[in-house]
Chains A and B, each alone.
Chain A
Amino acid sequence: MIDALRYEWVRLRTIRSTYWLIGGALVFQLVFAVLIAVSLDRSTTFGGGDETFDVLATIGGSTGAPLLMAYIVGLLGVFSTGHEYRHGMIRATLTAIPNRTHVFAAKMISTAVISAATAVCCVLIGLACIGVFGLDMPTGSRFVELTGGIVLYTALFSLSGLAFAALVRNQTAAVALLMLVPSLFEFIVQSIVVIIKTNTDDPQSSGGVTVILTYLPYDAGSQMYVQSSINGFLQRTLGAEPFGALGGGTVMGVFVAALLAGAHALFLRRDA
């Protein structure tokens, strides 16, 4: 296993896309954190408090917008496996490390660690902006809670990218899946549920198809960093109670674990 991790360590360090993606995520975070900090600094209506940290650390993701940094970092997960197939590297990799489980596990670990580390840096950039612009510092508990949520969501997001690439063995298709499933696919499902529910006799009744909304994995996972006042607004409107940060994170975790388990099983079975 250590051998496979050594391979991954050199692989990540010797390819430009690693630096581009991490650098891109950090620059994105810095630029937008500064812009948001400037506007919050001038705002007379913004409440401040923990919400300042929420908005800056997630670049608006806490208000229900996508956590864009995760979309950038998630490409590391796609490339981790996608490059193997796009450039015919998989056979060379498996002649260096024949144990496929070790190869797959090393990719999972390296992807999760590097994604989590990048997410932590992004959070710290948000925190630094708060300090530089003299905005409200978060409470200790909120800092830990939100940082944990962002880090976990980003790592799971990247791992889902890894799994998509391993399942379809096509980097372009995996990128498309990672970009479209959390946004377009889940949005379409939400729209269909809304249409069905609003055409029932009692749109706000609990149960029924609305339950589906609570199990949309990326939306559920986003509850780990979305403000509780916004969290699950759509579900509540339609009579479903969202799982919250812990439950939502579990839904996303189970989804990503299932993807990874399927990808690993196929990786063991398929020809390289």
Chain B
Amino acid sequence: MALIEARSLGKSFGTHRAVEDLSFTVHPGSVTGFLGPNGSGKSTTMRLMLGLDRGQGSTTFDGLTFAELDHPMRHVGALLEAKPFHPTRKARNHLRMLAAPNGIADRRVDEVIEMVGLTGVAGGRPGSFSLGMGQRLGIAAALLGDPHTLILDEPSNGLDPQGITWLRNLLKFLASQGRSVFVSSHLLQEMGLLADELVVIGRGRMLANGPVQDFVSHSGLASVSVRSPDLSVLGPALEAIGATVTADGDAVVVRGATAEQIGDAAHAAGARVHQLTTRQATLEEAFLAATGLDEEFRGTRAGGRP
């Protein structure tokens, strides 16, 4: 099982610095989500890891670069773009072609076709495939060599809800077998269900790296809703311990203090508390907070305001 170690990855397109000094580790037995806004350098980073783009830094898989791997598809499976195949080459032949230089038997080709649910169209020409079917073929190619490492760029693109659930279960199962799974996605809710660890980048730079729970809890967006008949006493007491108090109907929303700290402060101030509800931030909120200033492409709302 492979440890992926990316060290000081960097890449420029002309004067634009697309990836800047990225270093991270993907551990075996885990799914590591790769998050970042559009244009933040996720796909470029993945291509750099596999030596497809020329840039700075290095990535090793159990100490070897991708180019040094013998029969690389048996070690690292990759899906880097939608529909990476010739439209008139039959799906099964596409996989046979990739299998041939990696010493992978045709029997395995049929296995992965069945695994991704394309058996019925294995003899079809993928030019007529939907985006979702194309993604399944790409995933089949990544799984072809039964690799210990998977690098998948937006694999859920084009998949229907059933397909997304299937993919989530598949990747979790593969990780549970001790494989390293590194996957990018724009579906934050899905990533919240899938990933154990996160690498979050913005404008090509590292913003966060670590367990999903740490990323969410350290976002500073967790809050506690407090209902109390003594808000006039409790409010100043909470502000005194450094919390931020915001009115929310007949309650207040408190940030910067845990439920325990609020309970202690209320007790000390002699304020009665009728309700104390902790609300964790979502991955989406944490992500938006982390990348808010690092969005490469920003749209405008009606009226022209960003």
Q: Is the CB of A92 within 8 A of B101?
A: no
The docked-state distance in angstroms from the alpha carbon of A15 to that of B96 is 12
Q: Is the CB of A95 within 8 A of B50?
A: yes
B88 / chain A contacts, CB cutoff of 8 Å: 15-17
Q: Is the CB of A89 within 8 A of B85?
A: yes
The docked-state distance in angstroms from the alpha carbon of A236 to that of B78 is 59
Which residue in chain A gives the minimum CB-CB distance to B52?
A272
Which residue in chain A gives the minimum CB-CB distance to B93?
A14
Question: Helix, strand, loop or mixed for chain A's interface?
Answer: helix
The docked-state distance in angstroms from the alpha carbon of A83 to that of B87 is 10
* Number of A-B contacts defined by CB within 8 Å: 85
B83 / chain A contacts, CB cutoff of 8 Å: 88
Tally chain A residues at the interface, Cβ within 8 Å.
27
The docked-state distance in angstroms from the alpha carbon of A6 to that of B100 is 6
Q: Is the CB of A88 within 8 A of B84?
A: yes
The interface stretch among A67-75, A96-104, A135-143, A184-192 is A96-104
Which residue in chain B gives the minimum CB-CB distance to A83?
B86
Q: Is the CB of A87 within 8 A of B85?
A: yes
Question: Which positions 69-128 of chain A face chain B at CB distance < 8 Å?
Answer: 83, 87-89, 91-92, 94-99
Minimum Cβ distance to chain B for residue A78 (Å) = 14
A7 contacts B by Cβ under 8 Å: yes
Q: Is the CB of A11 within 8 A of B52?
A: no
Tally chain B residues at the interface, Cβ within 8 Å.
34
B51 / chain A contacts, CB cutoff of 8 Å: 94, 98
The docked-state distance in angstroms from the alpha carbon of A9 to that of B54 is 28
B141 contacts A by Cβ under 8 Å: yes
Chain A CB within 10 A, most for which of B76, B88, B97 = B97
Question: Which positions 10-57 of chain B face chain A at CB distance < 8 Å?
Answer: 47, 50-54
The docked-state distance in angstroms from the alpha carbon of A217 to that of B214 is 66
The interface stretch among B66-74, B167-175, B189-197, B236-244 is B66-74
Q: Is the CB of A14 within 8 A of B97?
A: yes
Q: Is the CB of A272 within 8 A of B72?
A: no
Minimum Cβ distance to chain B for residue A75 (Å) = 15
Minimum Cβ distance to chain A for residue B104 (Å) = 10
Q: Is the CB of A15 within 8 A of B72?
A: no
A132 contacts B by Cβ under 8 Å: no
Minimum Cβ distance to chain A for residue B53 (Å) = 4
Chain B CB within 10 A, most for which of A10, A14, A92, A272 = A92
Given contact pairs A87-B85, A87-B87, A98 touches B96 in the complex (Cβ within 8 A): no
A3 contacts B by Cβ under 8 Å: yes
B89 contacts A by Cβ under 8 Å: yes
Q: Is the CB of B67 within 8 A of A99?
A: yes
Q: Which of A83, A89, A271 contacts B54 (CB 8 A)?
A: A271
